[in-house]
Structure 1
Amino acid sequence: MSSGTANQRPRTRISAWRPAVAGITEVFHAHFTDHAYPMHTHDTWDLMILDDGCVDFAVDRRRHGAAGSGTVVLLPPGVPHDGRTVNASGFRKRVLYLDAQVLPGRLAGAAVDVPVHADAALHQRLHQLHNALNAAGDAFEAESRLAFVRERLLAHLGASPRARTSGREAGRLAATLRELLDSSLRTGMTLDEAASLLHAHPTHLIRCFRQTYGLPPHTYLTGRRVERARLLLLTGQRPVDVAMAVGFHDQAHLNRHFKRHLGVPPGRYLAGRSHDQRLPGPQRNGATPPRAT
């Protein structure tokens, strides 16, 4: 390798996509080594987590700096801002462009006053949200995580009312949500749809469910889909057909969750079982099949 190649800076790397999640207009991941954004505005809220490096930026003619992993930057719609690298190593960031309706416009002034937040809990929630967005088909989980990100942002902006309810009422809401999820395994249901049907705030609904059943609703929904897939596979149905029948985005989506729950993908789960064992119907010699454990 020549010395010129060895001293060359890494190239800029970016990826961007629009997820099927209400409230998020774009996901943008980038590693900039030498870049300066000109002054510009967005129609959306710009929510960034800095994974590495330093960035210098101006918001409404006031300059700010952000450095180090764990920093969160929130910029409101319609407010001019720029951004530039500070040193040769550049910076790595993950950005969500949030629809203007996700946060009230009246909070834009508070966001301009304090755009940088050193909040480990918020950073962790955003990291989990990005992971869910990277996993195609996990829209319900992404919606749930976005709801908690929004709640944390509202707290920073001075507007974070949290609903409270009795244990009995929480149990009623959780049980009704579970019924809704069970009845929509194949077709799916968004968190906003469930919250609207139950007349409850999304984060309040999730907390009630976790309080009652010990896990969040998106985890429960995935587990139910895996369990249903397991039963259908044992009848001899193909994994590609099973994936669609239980509400997974595609076979790869089924494979990933099935392996996480059971340790092996669907094909290996059935390996070693005879054809007769997989097919439903009368048993040989009238014998009653053993109950599955």
Structure 2
Amino acid sequence: MGTTPTAPEGLRPAPGQHITAWRPQVEGVVEVFHARFTEHAYPMHVHDAWALLIVDEGAVRYDLDRHEHGIPSDTVSLLPPHVPHNGSAATPGGFRKRVLYFDESLLDRSLIGAAVDSPDLRDPVLRHRIGQLHTALASPGDTLEAASRLALIGERLRGHLSPRLLTAARPTDRTLAHRLRELLDARQVEGIALEEAARLLGAHPTHLIRAFSAAFGIAPHQYLMSRRIDHARRLLLSGHAPGETAVTAGFYDQPHLTRHFKRVVGTTPGRYARSRA
């Protein structure tokens, strides 16, 4: 996940405020920024990256291109690069927000004008996916899941900004899905980036995800994690320690193994190992 920077004395958030920022190892993502502000107000400023913002508590008001906007908790806001904007709390208790900054590999600069015209999107599916992406980005071993969720979010954003870019769904490509499954099996331990898989198989990342999910009823990252969990179970039953198992089965570290193992198997790796007859 990277190291969260510590602000020097005098620059730390005021009491009641909290900031966490990091740059994950996911192609296209410049920064992830989580903050809780009670009094801070942003002056007019610009970013060199797209900013995708959701508010979890309270509400935010801001000016973009001389027009006032508001971000309640059910709204997604997409702020384009190089366009001045500010921001402040619209509720007495302040606000808590999560922001994803990404480069033009996800959204082309030709869409900046459309984003200026309609920066606030009321799309429950999009907002839910953004929340899932933030969860994945907070886990250093879940880069394939994060890249997959980011690709689908980019597709949905492009649909909002330029509906003509949406095309009819193509038929399920079972051959493509099987080739991706073979690739995931071959790279089970070391893993593979979504962009690399797309290049090797000659397919767009979102089409690759949809073809695999339609063919097998499971997303590529879920399939890979399931294979790693099965591998870990065999290792644990053979007497390997959880820490050793995590590395051997392809997990980032033991906490990464424990989190996914408990979610799938219903118990921790240590308890599972001790339960063997």
- TM-score, with length taken from structure 1: 0.86
Residue aligning to 2:70 = 65
Q: Percent identity?
A: 53
| Deviation per residue, 1:103-130 (Å, 9 max, x gap) | 0001000001111111111101101111
Query: What amino acid is the match of 1:151?
Result: E
Q: State the SS of the aligned residue for 1:232.
A: helix
Q: Given that residues 34 and 88 in structure 1 are in contact (C-alpha distance below 8 angstroms), is that contact kept between their aligned partners in structure 2?
A: no
2:94 matches 1:77: no
Could you tell me how far 1:179 is from its partner in structure 2? Answer: 0.4
Q: State the SS of the aligned residue for 1:29.
A: strand
Residue aligning to 1:189 = 192
Q: Given that residues 237 and 276 in structure 2 are in contact (C-alpha distance below 8 angstroms), is that contact kept between their aligned partners in structure 1?
A: no
Could you tell me how far 1:270 is from its partner in structure 2? Answer: 1.8
Between structure 1 and structure 2, the one with the greater Rg is 1
Q: Given that residues 106 and 151 in structure 2 are in contact (C-alpha distance below 8 angstroms), is that contact kept between their aligned partners in structure 1?
A: no
Residue aligning to 2:4 = none
Of 13, 30, 37 in structure 2, the residue corresponding to residue 32 of structure 1 is: 37
Gaps of 5+ in 2: 1-13
Mapped partners of 1:214, 1:273: distance in 2: 31
Q: 1:245/1:163 Cα in 2 relative to 1: closer, same or farther (>3 Å)?
A: farther
Residue aligning to 1:287 = none
Could you tell me how far 1:136 is from its partner in structure 2? Answer: 2.5
Mapped partners of 1:227, 1:161: distance in 2: 38
Q: How many residues align?
A: 263
Question: What is the root-mean-square deviation of aligned Cα atoms in Å?
Answer: 1.6
Q: 1:199/1:163 Cα in 2 relative to 1: closer, same or farther (>3 Å)?
A: farther
Q: Given that residues 55 and 66 in structure 1 are in contact (C-alpha distance below 8 angstroms), is that contact kept between their aligned partners in structure 2?
A: yes
Q: 1:150/1:272 Cα in 2 relative to 1: closer, same or farther (>3 Å)?
A: closer
Q: State the SS of the aligned residue for 2:83.
A: coil
Query: What amino acid is the match of 2:138?
Result: N
Q: Given that residues 31 and 93 in structure 1 are in contact (C-alpha distance below 8 angstroms), is that contact kept between their aligned partners in structure 2?
A: yes
Mapped partners of 1:76, 1:176: distance in 2: 37
2:248 matches 1:206: no
Mapped partners of 2:82, 2:152: distance in 1: 24
Q: Given that residues 163 and 204 in structure 1 are in contact (C-alpha distance below 8 angstroms), is that contact kept between their aligned partners in structure 2?
A: no
Mapped partners of 1:272, 1:253: distance in 2: 21
Residue aligning to 1:109 = 113
Could you tell me how far 1:208 is from its partner in structure 2? Answer: 0.8
Q: Given that residues 52 and 77 in structure 2 are in contact (C-alpha distance below 8 angstroms), is that contact kept between their aligned partners in structure 1?
A: yes
2:125 matches 1:143: no
Residue aligning to 1:250 = 253
Mapped partners of 1:35, 1:273: distance in 2: 55
Gaps of 5+ in 1: 1-8, 275-293
